Amino acid sequence: MRLRPFALLASLLALMLSAFPPAHAQTIAFTFDDGLDPATHPDALRWNGQLLRTLSRSGVRAMIFPAGRMGGTPTGLPLVRAWADSGHTVGNHTWSHRNLAGRITLAEFLADVGRADSLLSGMPTWRPMLRFPYLKEGDTAEKRDGVREWMRERGYRPAPVSVDASDWYYNQRYLELIAERRTSKLPRLRDAYLAHLWDRAVYYDSLARTVLHRSPAHVLLLHTNAINGAYLGDVIAMFRERGWRVVPPDEAFADELYATQPSGLPAGEGIVWALARDAGVTGLRYPAEDGEYEKPAVDRALGGP
């Protein structure tokens, strides 16, 4: 059967749209901080396995940023190696996970970064990228600019996030429910957790559209912890079901957003938040994400404190 010209044009257009998704479609990459150590977390091996199996089943490549004292110990390093062996990239989260906006000198911080580099740079999927602990990039211009210069000289890139969240707080509440044998409330916490991550993603995407006038390739910050071991599959499914495309971190970090250098002090937080502050956007809370913002919502979801 011959197609009429209009029908033929419509068919070609549909084929083109299926091959090339709209440029404005939201995309997101998954990154995980800290790492796990069986010597300090009895369930570390199980949680690590849950995360890796879920990523494999979901067809998602992620990136892990181990902190040396958390995941770079003799007992923790094999768990990091398992991420690399599974094809996930490995970055640097410093050795001791100290806050650069706190009582640490520039020299001490850089030595800490170097110590973790020496430990992790032999990983087969290593990337010389630095994820700042607590997303704090310095409370002075000397610290902020000193680390940036150190990275330039050594071929390092920063590894900012565009979507920050408080998964660590939800993890605390998750572990409390298990310890208190209140597991019947776990489905409520799961729903609250998914709602939190979705709310933060939508918020930061909207903020990016205000500041950048576009939706960038987003980088989500999560942690290697129990709640993500349990619910990561639900998190990935939620984003996909709501139209977001999950991409590898290397693809997301290629977005020009992550090459920008916000100028404000104290430096840090998520990069979209930092650029919004530089642009004079009002109503930004500081710190951008914290457990105190989430406690009332979780209490309501669980039916009380």
CATH number at residue 270: 3.20.20.370
In a domain, 5, yes or no: no
Assigned token pair, 231: 């619910």
Look over the chain and give the mean of its residue pLDDT values, rounded to a whole number. 93
Q: Is residue 8 part of a domain?
A: no
Q: Tell me the per-residue pLDDT of 202-221, one tens digit each, with 9 for 90 and over.
A: 999 999 999 999 999 999 99
Residue 70 has pLDDT above 60, yes or no: yes
pLDDT value of residue 304? 66
Judge whether residue 303 has pLDDT over 80.
yes
pLDDT at 24: 53
Q: What is the mean pLDDT of residues 234-263?
A: 98
Domain assignment of residue 235, yes or no? yes
Arithmetic mean of pLDDT, 241-252 = 98
Per the rule left: phi > 0, alpha: psi between -120 and 50, beta: everything else, 82 is alpha
20 located within any domain:
no
Total domain count, the chain = 1
Does the structure show a pLDDT above 60 at 91?
yes
In a domain, 149, yes or no: yes
Residue 1 has pLDDT above 50, yes or no: no
And the tokens for 287? 């710190």
What pLDDT, on a 0 to 100 scale, did the predictor assign at position 35? 97
pTM of the predicted structure, to 2 decimals: 0.92
> Over 90: is that where the pLDDT of 176 sits?
yes
Determine, yes or no, domain membership for 234: yes
Average pLDDT over residues 240-248: 98
Q: By residue range, what is the domain housing residue 108?
A: 25-302
- Kindly tell me if the per-residue pLDDT of 15 is higher than 80: no
pLDDT of residue 21: 40
Tokens of 237: 């499914």
Residue 8 has pLDDT above 60, yes or no: no
Confidence grade of residue 10 (pLDDT, cut at 50, 70, 90): very low
Say yes or no to pLDDT of 133 above 60.
yes
pLDDT band, residue 25 (cuts 50/70/90):
confident
pLDDT confidence of residue 23: 44
Mean per-residue pLDDT for 144-173?
98
What integer pLDDT is reported at residue 217 of this predicted model? 98
Q: What does the pLDDT read at residue 32?
A: 98
Per the domain annotation, does 18 fall within a domain?
no
Domain membership flag for residue 36: yes
Q: Measured between alpha carbons, how far apart are the two ends of the chain, in Å?
A: 68
Instruction: Give the pLDDT band (50/70/90) at residue 228.
Output: very high
Mean pLDDT of 98-122: 98
